[in-house]
Structure 1
Amino acid sequence: MTVVTPYRSAVRGARDGFAQLLHAEWTKFRTVRGWVAAMAVVAPVVIALGLFSAAGNSSSCSDGPKVVPCPAVPLGPGGEAVSDSFTFMHRPLGEGGGITARVTGMTGIITYPPPNHDQIVNGLVPWAKAGIIIKESTRQGSAYAAVMVTGHHGVRMQHDFTHDVAGRPASAASPTWLRLTRSGDTITGYESADGVHWSTIGSVRLPGLPATVQAGLFVTSPADLTVKPNAVGGSIAQARFTQATAVFDNVDLRGAPPGTVWSDDQIGQSGTTQWEQEHKPAGVVSSGGTFTVTGSGDIAPIGQEAGQSIEHTLTGGLVALIVVMIVAVMFVTAEYRRGLIRTTLLASPRRGRALAAKALVIGVLAFAAGLVAAVVTVPPATRILRSNGNYVLPVSLLTELRVMVGTAALFAVAAVGALALGALFRRGVAAAVTAMVVVVVPAVLATASVLPLEVSRWLLRLTPAAGFAVQQSIPDYPQVIGDYSPQAGYYPLPPWAGFAVLCGYAALALALAVLRMRRRDA
């Protein structure tokens, strides 16, 4: 009987490990000089356009015939830009004690400021506020906690500008009892309909409160903001001057140092305006234990209408993103065009792994280019804006890092999505045009005031352009009326939620590309 021994080659077979695939794809990329050169100009484009835009952007304010630097915006305890403007009747309060008062009613007026104001309208804006407050000092931006009756949002407890807790849905015209107590750094707010039965709204801690703070009555009323559709698309925001007046009685402050008396101040007010002199000046009128307090302004964070945000320094990002997506498309379609994809798939029969290796390589390269661009652009461009008299809205270090790393992640995921489209279409022009149509075009249309406001918002919710939300540094606040439109720099989704939408589209495109590669020959 003859025994046949199977032939075994002495040559070791090629390894189909993922690390080898990555090395092979990286080698392919770096050997094409055009791709390397294109990716190398991504960061310089963003840096040059960002610095050039900052250098050409200047701002100043006038003081009569003179041009002077614009006044600084107050900063809250968290470092955010705030509005801190109100009428304040106050008295010192020690480390233990509190204040109780009844708001018997609140009224208001709305008009344009002089000299071109329209007919005066009686009414309250939704976030007109009248109540009691415990504040670190009369300095603008200092820590505080307050309970209040609002124009249309019932009773609220707010503290340190960005925090808001809802109480009962009381009417501004109905008498409402309010109470604040202090125990060291802890402030607790209460409300009552009759002054006998009290319910707790909330309790907050204000670290670092001094032994003596200021407590008292306050009234303020923010501008009446209306956002109207623009004739050519987008929106136009208009603000009207407003004023609120509240009547307080049963005022009781316990824990005041001996010998102290009540004072009243216009916090954050530059002075009495001509309009106020002609109608109803802001201030406090006392009569037999009843106090009538009139004021305007706001105690709240402010948004992008007050200055420049750090993401405005990344104006070149859109151009650079187009370059990144074109390179990503060519990275895969060039192999189809030249027939080299067959060699790739022979070397790695597991087609999904081959495409995943390509995606990881282009994603890492795009991330690196975007990160260098953002890190090198944002800090110096921000300094240039400030040196030119622009007010740059302050953000925390974590937010600044999120904007820069988020920009890099945006580049990376968009590149992976473009690569997946290239593998789906197998034609460079079709894939590149599709990538720009679904990512870049919606972003441009939504922010360029050419579409109705709601259409713009839905584009930034449902298309991959939602990913640009990761660059937004200044949030919108539900307790502040503002022009939260894409044209004003606001996205309808939170930063990471918008980025997740882009990731979802990229993952879907990549899955479809892998499915097509497995079902159809190269």
Structure 2
Amino acid sequence: MRHLIRAEWTKVRTVPGWTIAVLLSVLATIGLGVLTAAGNHSSCGGASTVCPPPPLGPDGTAVDDHFFFVHRALAGDGSITVRLSSMTGQRRLPDATPGVRRVASGLVPWAKAGIMVKDGTRPGASYAALMATGTHGVRLQYDFSHDVPGSASRVGAGTPCWLRLVRTGRHLTGYESADGHRWTRVGTASLPGLPTRVQIGLFAASPGALRVARADLGGSVETISFSSTTARFDHVGLDGTATGGWHRTDVGATVDPDGSVHHPGSARWSAGRYTVTGVGDIAPRVDGMTVEKTLSGLLVGLLIVIVVAAGFVAAEYRTGLVRTTLTTDPRRGRVLGAKAVVLAGTAFVAGLAATAATLPIGTHVLRANRNTVLPVDTLSVLRIVVGTGLLVALIAVLVLALATLLRRASAAIAAGVALVLVPRILATTSVLPDSAAQWVLRLTPAAGFAIQQSIPTYRQVTAHLVPQAGYYPLPPWAGLAVTAGYAAVALLLAVVVLRRRDA
């Protein structure tokens, strides 16, 4: 096998056209990616305006952290118990008449109200919150990216919900009850960096009202409008060493140029009853520039790799060299395996080099244009770089197998483009309906592009998480496994066919 691999590698490096084509695929990926990044500019205002960076959560994730908080200081262990007697909401509707505001009653699905322990009131600070939501029941959420479901109970007229949050060291345990006597544990959050002194209290938040409409060509168009949540609490009980009185803080509120708070929340209390109105969200941030936006040139680079992969086999059929190759070693499966190893290795190195260069350069250009790029941890960057290299290698092997089956470079190129590039383009542009786009990226070799998704698909955020927005239906490695499955099956079929027919 070793001598076969050496022979195939010699063919690659001694044919100038193939070497130049591989280099062109790398340069095209880098050049077009950087060019695309250079065309993206901040939309926050004038040329001198910089979009304010989002707050970062305890793990460095970009987050939304805007809610109204009624709180007291708690030193050490303790607990808070409340009855959430009602939740109501309002949401802005599109103006039927310009300038005439329309408002409808009702909660948005991820409207939130409940109790919280937080490391101060700084946006992005560590927290744990036990809450009722608009349509997702009771949840224990903590440090933005963690979400533990409780019961499916909804708070409404005649159906209050009791909530209890207990702090023991760095552990916070949430309980819920329908009557305040029989309690059910929802879950426990562990917050390693939680200090001894924290803020504990009541909160309300309301993400924007999301509306999704069909686009003219397929796909979808989303709009988000203002919404608010008003929660009414009573039977508030606080155990532990609490100091000071109750404070009211509009955490993360936007301050207008005139000094006023944009869409402020509020709180009032009377005779032991607390009414808290809040806007905003407490969740990972998913809207913004992502690092994989710089990899737009990969499609052109892949097209060049597809041409090389098809020619790697078809050229031997065209010139008759395949007979010489098979005469030298009649074990046809080993011959094709050697070709696959050499081509996959070459494509992997090309994809790895192109991605490793494009990501930092493109991200630097985006930031130089005053764009806010969502931060990504080192492991995710390594996964994108290595995974993209593997994706390019798998696509090259798939096209190699297709060329062996079809014997013609043009047919193999057309098949490779139809199986990989066309589904990717159709699914991520406004062409296919969202559901069809998701199925395309589950069932075709284009599923492997999921390896490039840098921001996880959080289900507890208010956003339309579809391929058009860069969110894939399969996890990164699962998507790559689909592409690997296609490459493996195609290569196996090619071996079987190659063994049964004349060269």
Q: Which amino acid aligns with 1:207?
A: P
Q: State the TM-score, normalizing by the size of structure 1.
A: 0.92
1:301-345 superposed Cα distances (whole Å, 9 cap, x missing partner)? 121x2x111111111100000101110110111111111111111
**Does structure 2 retain, via aligned residues, the 8 Å contact 1:152–1:172?**
no
2:391 counterpart residue number = 410
2:284 counterpart residue number = 301
Report deviation, 1:256: 3.1
Q: State the TM-score, normalizing by the size of structure 2.
A: 0.96
Q: Which moved more, 1:498-507 or 1:473-482?
A: 473-482
Report deviation, 1:118: 4.4
1:476 counterpart residue number = 457
Matching of residues 41-440 of structure 1 within 5 Å: 41-62=24-45, 67-112=48-93, 116=99, 118-173=101-156, 174-258=159-243, 260-271=244-255, 282-303=265-286, 305=287, 307-440=288-421
Report deviation, 1:61: 2.2
Equivalent-residue separation in structure 2 for 1:116 and 1:272 (angstroms)? 21
1:117-174 superposed Cα distances (whole Å, 9 cap, x missing partner)? 6421110111101100000110001110010111111111110111111111111212
The 3-state SS of whatever aligns with 2:8 is helix
Q: Which amino acid aligns with 1:390?
A: N
Equivalent-residue separation in structure 1 for 2:499 and 2:389 (angstroms)? 31
Equivalent-residue separation in structure 2 for 1:118 and 1:37 (angstroms)? 61
Report deviation, 1:66: 9.1
Q: Which moved more, 1:112-121 or 1:208-217?
A: 112-121
Same amino acid, percent of matched pairs: 52
Equivalent-residue separation in structure 2 for 1:406 and 1:251 (angstroms)? 51
1:46-76 superposed Cα distances (whole Å, 9 cap, x missing partner)? 11112222223211524xx995211111111
**Does structure 2 retain, via aligned residues, the 8 Å contact 1:111–1:117?**
no
2:496 counterpart residue number = 515
Q: Find runs of 4+ consecutive structure 1 residues off by over 6 angstroms.
A: none
Q: 1:226 to 1:337 in 2, by over 3 A?
A: same
Equivalent-residue separation in structure 2 for 1:377 and 1:516 (angstroms)? 39
Equivalent-residue separation in structure 2 for 1:144 and 1:387 (angstroms)? 33
Equivalent-residue separation in structure 1 for 2:249 and 2:94 (angstroms)? 22
Equivalent-residue separation in structure 1 for 2:215 and 2:33 (angstroms)? 29
Equivalent-residue separation in structure 2 for 1:256 and 1:302 (angstroms)? 34
2:441 counterpart residue number = 460
The 3-state SS of whatever aligns with 1:120 is strand
Higher-Rg structure is 1
The 3-state SS of whatever aligns with 2:221 is strand
Equivalent-residue separation in structure 1 for 2:26 and 2:384 (angstroms)? 16
**Does structure 2 retain, via aligned residues, the 8 Å contact 1:448–1:487?**
yes
2:472 counterpart residue number = 491
Report deviation, 1:376: 1.0
1:504 pairs with 482, 485, 498, which one?
A: 485
Structure 1 gaps, min length 5 = 1-17
**Does structure 2 retain, via aligned residues, the 8 Å contact 1:53–1:313?**
yes
Report deviation, 1:248: 0.4
**Does structure 1 retain, via aligned residues, the 8 Å contact 2:87–2:230?**
yes
**Does structure 2 retain, via aligned residues, the 8 Å contact 1:272–1:281?**
no
Report deviation, 1:386: 0.8
Equivalent-residue separation in structure 2 for 1:282 and 1:404 (angstroms)? 43
Report deviation, 1:476: 1.6
1:235-262 superposed Cα distances (whole Å, 9 cap, x missing partner)? 100112111101001111122344x111
1:85-142 superposed Cα distances (whole Å, 9 cap, x missing partner)? 0010000111211111110110111114898564211101111011000001100011
The 3-state SS of whatever aligns with 1:255 is strand
Report deviation, 1:465: 0.9
The 3-state SS of whatever aligns with 1:61 is coil
Q: Which moved more, 1:265-274 or 1:346-355?
A: 265-274
2:13 counterpart residue number = 30
Q: Which moved more, 1:447-456 or 1:458-467?
A: 447-456
The 3-state SS of whatever aligns with 1:492 is coil
**Does structure 2 retain, via aligned residues, the 8 Å contact 1:224–1:240?**
yes
The 3-state SS of whatever aligns with 1:45 is helix
